[in-house]
A and B are shown apart, each in its own frame.
Chain A
Amino acid sequence: MTALAEPARSSRLGLGSRAWRFAKLHALTVYALAVVVYLMLPIAVVILFSFNAPKGRFNYVWQGFTLDNWVNWNSILGIQDAVVTSLEVGLLATVVATVLGTLIAMAIVRHHFVGRSTTNLIVFLPMSTPEIVLGASLLTLFLNTTAVFQLGFVTIFIAHVMFIVSFVVVTVKARLIGFDRHLEEAAMDLGANELTTFRKVTLPLIAPAMLAASLLGFALSIDDFVITYLNSGSTQTFPIFVWGAARVSVPPQINVVASAIFLIAIALALGNVFWEYRSARRTQGAT
Chain B
Amino acid sequence: MGTFFHRNRGLTPYLLLLPGVLWLSLFFLVPLGFLGYQSLQSGIYPNFEFTWEFSNFSDAFSNYHEQLFRSFLYAGIATAVCLVLAYPLVYWIAFRAGPWRNLFLLAIVAPFFVTYLVRTLAWLNILADQGPVVELLRDIHVLGEDGRLLATTFAVVSGIAYNFFPFMALPIYVSLEQIDERMLEAAKDLYASSTQAFLRVTLPLSAPGIVAGTLLTFIPAAGDFINAALLGTPKQSMVGNVIQAKFLESLDYPTAASLSFILMGIILVGLLVYARVVGAERLTG
Chain A: residues with CB nearer than 8 A to chain B? 28-29, 31-32, 35-36, 38-43, 45-46, 49, 60, 99-101, 103-104, 106-107, 110-111, 113, 119-126, 128-134, 136-141, 143-144, 158-159, 161-162, 165-166, 169-170, 173-174, 193-196, 219, 222-223, 225-226, 229-230, 238-239, 242-243, 246, 250, 254-255, 257-259, 261-262, 265-266, 269-270, 273, 276-277
Asked if B117 and A158 sit within 8 Å, CB to CB, the answer is no
Q: Which of B6, B96, B115 contacts A242 (CB 8 A)?
A: B115
B128, A60: Cβ atoms under 8 Å? yes
Complex Cα distance, B6 from A226, in Å, reads 44
Within 8 A of A (CB), among B229-269: 230, 240, 243-244, 247-248, 253, 256-257, 260-261, 263-264, 267-268
Task: Establish whether residues A119 and B34, one from each chain, have CB atoms under 8 Å apart when the complex forms.
Answer: no
Chain B residues, Cβ within 8 Å of A137: 28, 31-32, 34-35, 260
Q: Does B64 contact A (CB under 8 A)?
A: no
CB of B119 within 8 A of CB of A107, answer no
What total count of A-B pairs have CB within 8 Å?
248
Given A43-B110, A242-B115, A144 and B2 contact (CB-CB distance below 8 Å): no
A103 proximity list for chain B (CB < 8 A): 16-17, 19-20
Answer whether residue B271 sits at the interface, using C-beta atoms and an 8 A cutoff.
yes
Q: How far is the CB of B33 from chain A (nearest CB, A)?
A: 8
Contact A104 B20 (CB under 8 A): yes
CA distance A67 to B35 in the complex (A): 48
B203 an interface residue at 8 Å Cβ cutoff? Answer: no
Question: Could you tell me if B114 and A162 are in contact, using CB atoms closer than 8 angstroms?
Answer: no
Contact of A35 with B112 at beta-carbon distance under 8 Å, contacts A242-B117, A273-B102 already known:
no
Knowing A38-B85, A39-B108, say if A258 contacts B114 (CB, 8 Å): yes
Question: Is B107 located at the chain interface by the 8 A CB criterion?
Answer: yes
Q: A32-B93, A128-B219, A158-B27 are known contacts. Are A39 and B125 too (CB-CB below 8 A)? A: no
The interface residues of chain A lying within 8 Å CB-to-CB of B264 are 129-130, 133
CB distance from A54 to the nearest CB of B (A): 12
CB distance from A61 to the nearest CB of B (A): 8
B88 touches A32 (CB 8 A): yes
Q: Which residue from A132, A143, A266 sits with its C-beta under 8 Å from B110?
A: A266
How far, in angstroms, from A261 to B119 measured CA to CA in the complex?
12
Question: With A130-B222, A242-B121 in contact, is A100–B20 under 8 Å at CB?
Answer: yes
**Measured between C-beta atoms, what is the minimum distance from A42 to chain B in Å?**
4
17 sample A-B contacts, Cβ–Cβ < 8 Å, listed by A number = A28-B91, A42-B126, A110-B13, A124-B283, A125-B28, A129-B219, A130-B240, A133-B223, A134-B28, A136-B247, A136-B260, A141-B30, A162-B24, A166-B24, A169-B20, A257-B115, A266-B110
Q: Could you tell me the dominant secondary structure of chain A's interface residues?
A: helix
* Main SS at interface, chain B: helix
Q: Indicate whether B208 reaches chain A with its CB closer than 8 angstroms.
A: no
Q: If the complex has contacts A28-B91, A107-B17, are A45 and B111 also in contact, measured as CB distance less than 8 A?
A: no
Chain B: residues with CB nearer than 8 A to chain A?
1-3, 5-6, 10, 12-14, 16-17, 19-21, 23-25, 27-32, 34-35, 37-38, 85-86, 88-89, 91-93, 96, 102-104, 106-119, 121-123, 125-126, 128, 162, 165, 215, 219-220, 222-226, 230, 240, 243-244, 247-248, 253, 256-257, 260-261, 263-264, 267-268, 271, 283-285
Determine if A128 and B96 form an interchain contact, defined as CB atoms under 8 angstroms apart. no
**Other-chain contact of B35, A60, A125, A140, A161 (Cβ < 8 Å):** A140
A60-B128, A194-B2 given as contacts; is B31 within 8 A of A128 (CB)?
no
Complex contacts, B17 vs chain A, CB 8 Å: 103-104, 107, 119
Q: Tell me if B113 and A262 are in contact (CB < 8 A).
A: yes
Q: Contact: A122 with B29, CB < 8 Å?
A: yes
State how many angstroms separate the Cβ of A18 from the closest Cβ of chain B. Answer: 14
Q: Which residues of B contact A144 (CB under 8 A)?
A: 34, 37-38
Please measure, in the bound complex, the distance between the C-alpha atom of A98 and the C-alpha atom of B31, giving whole angstroms.
22
| Distance to closest chain B CB from A57 (angstroms) | 15
> Which of B21, B88, B253 has most chain A Cβ within 10 Å?
B21
Q: Report yes or no: A42 in contact with B114, Cβ–Cβ below 8 A.
A: yes
Which residue from chain B places its CB closest to the CB of A100 in the assembled complex? Answer: B20
Quick check: A258 and B115 within 8 Å, CB to CB? yes
Q: Which residues of A contact B113 (CB under 8 A)?
A: 219, 261-262, 265-266
Checking B21, B117, B219 against A122 with a beta-carbon cut-off of 8 angstroms, the contacting residue is B21
Residue of A nearest to B221 (CB): A130
Q: Which of B3, B86, B263 lies in contact with A133, CB distance below 8 A?
A: B263
A196 CA to B2 CA, complexed, in Å? 8
On whether the beta carbons of A46 and B118 are closer than 8 Å, the reply is: yes
In the bound complex, residues from chain A placing their C-beta under 8 Å from that of B110 are 39-40, 43, 262, 266
